[in-house]
């Protein structure tokens, strides 16, 4: 089963004369283990495509299917659960909560998904170790370099 499918996806921002057709008729299938690069000039729809693929936005028309689940058919709570469990996104501006430490930022999605705080904290420390910054677990985002924040 594909991990991601876009079927004749269109995304239009605005209406009438000022409408911007960011994507028109995009069809894409990504299989497990496949590596895909999204490239193009500024304004070509790369961010729109990634927002749709990450279930952060919905298409104007067409279907987006993540791990067999059609995104447009999901209620907000199910959509949030899908994003927490199945979609990984590294934002350009990191989207870290400035009042939380590195470990707390990593543990938060786990806790929102029902993990007990102690278990979530253990998993967060293991994840930080895996990316080589376990020693920064108690530091806040403004106390880490950009690369450390991104990890």
- Is the pLDDT confidence value at 135 over 90? yes
Decide: 66 and 9 in contact? Cβ < 8 Å: no
Contacts of 127 (CB under 8 A, 6+ apart): 106
Encode pLDDT of 13-53 as tens digits. 999 999 999 999 999 999 999 999 999 999 899 999 999 99
The candidate with the shortest Cα–Cα distance to 113, out of 72, 150, 77, 151, is 77
- The yes or no reply on domain 4-74 and CATH 3.40.228.10 is no
pLDDT confidence tier of residue 113, bands split at 50, 70 and 90:
confident
pLDDT at 94: 78
Q: How far apart are CA 72 and CA 53, in angstroms?
A: 12
Q: How far apart are CA 16 and CA 18, in angstroms?
A: 5
User: Any idea what DSSP says for residue 37?
Assistant: -
Kindly list the domain boundaries of the chain, sorted by start residue.
4-74, 102-150
- Give me the percent of the chain exceeding a pLDDT of 90: 75
**Which secondary structure element, helix H or strand E, spans residue 10, and what is its range?**
strand 4-13
């Amino acid at each position: 089963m594909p991990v991601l499918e876009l079927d004749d996806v269109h995304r239009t921002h605005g209406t009438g004369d000022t409408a911007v057709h960011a994507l028109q008729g995009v069809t894409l299938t990504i299989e497990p283990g496949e590596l895909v690069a999204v490239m193009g000039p500024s304004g070509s729809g790369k961010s729109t495509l990634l927002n749709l693929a990450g279930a952060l936005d919905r298409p104007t028309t067409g279907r987006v299917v993540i791990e067999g689940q059609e995104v447009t058919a999901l209620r907000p709570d199910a959509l949030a659960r899908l994003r927490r469990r199945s979609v990984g996104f590294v934002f350009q501006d990191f989207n870290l909560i400035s009042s939380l430490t590195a470990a707390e930022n990593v543990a938060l999605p786990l806790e929102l998904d029902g993990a007990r705080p102690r278990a979530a904290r253990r998993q967060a420390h293991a994840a930080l170790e895996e990316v080589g910054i376990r020693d920064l677990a108690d530091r806040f985002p403004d106390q880490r370099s950009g690369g450390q924040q991104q990890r």
